[in-house]
Amino acid sequence: MKISMDIELTDIPGQLVLALKPVSDLGGNILSVLHQRDKKTPSGRIPVQLTLEIEEQGLDRLVERLKERDVNVVRIGKERLKESMMVLLIGHIVHTDLGETIDSIDSTGFAEVVELSLSMPGVDKKSSASVTLSAIGKEELKEALNILERTVSKKGIMIISSI
């Protein structure tokens, strides 16, 4: 299960590593860490946003272990990316910097490309791809689609979205 978690660390070096360790101990995977050293909470703690993949059963134990390490867990968002949609792309998808196309979504922080299948019939022929976008909410998903539309239209790629 994918979850997002807002935690607060004490302002002592080495706290982040300490906080992340239980995740891997419990068989989870860290997907992203947003560590804002310059922002402090009124109580002088440092806020960190985590996105991680962990078995549902492991979540309670993770929270316990974080507390044991003096890490405040202020918010847990289950299924952070809960809205998804598939779109198709047709055109010279790979040779127009596919990495950048995907990045335009992933860099938003609220949406990601979670799946991509590519069909390339021949070198000089157009490829087709199905792309699944996920986002934290309906509005964000719409915005992600807008961003993707703008990105690919500059590259002469056709986009087919769902009704």
**Smaller CB distance to another protein: residue 72 or 128?**
128
What is the nearest approach in angstroms of another protein to the Cβ of residue 115? 9
Phi/psi-derived region of residue 48, left when phi > 0, alpha when psi is between -120 and 50, beta in every other case: beta
**Smaller CB distance to another protein: residue 8 or 140?**
140
What is the nearest approach in angstroms of another protein to the Cβ of residue 99? 20
- Rounded Cα–Cα distance for residues 105 and 141 (Å): 10
What is the nearest approach in angstroms of another protein to the Cβ of residue 127? 7
Residue linked to tokens 């598939």: 86
**Smaller CB distance to another protein: residue 65 or 126?**
126
What is the nearest approach in angstroms of another protein to the Cβ of residue 93? 11
- Rounded Cα–Cα distance for residues 21 and 50 (Å): 13
**Smaller CB distance to another protein: residue 86 or 94?**
86
**Smaller CB distance to another protein: residue 10 or 128?**
128
- Rounded Cα–Cα distance for residues 135 and 109 (Å): 9
Question: Could you tell me which of 93, 96, 135, 137 has the C-alpha nearest to residue 116?
Answer: 93
What is the nearest approach in angstroms of another protein to the Cβ of residue 153? 10
Helix (H, G, I), strand (E, B) or coil at 22: helix
Chain positions contacting another protein, by CB under 8 A: 86-88, 90-91, 117, 119, 121, 126-130, 158, 160-163
- Rounded Cα–Cα distance for residues 12 and 162 (Å): 49
Confirm if 6 and 47 have CB atoms less than 8 A apart. yes
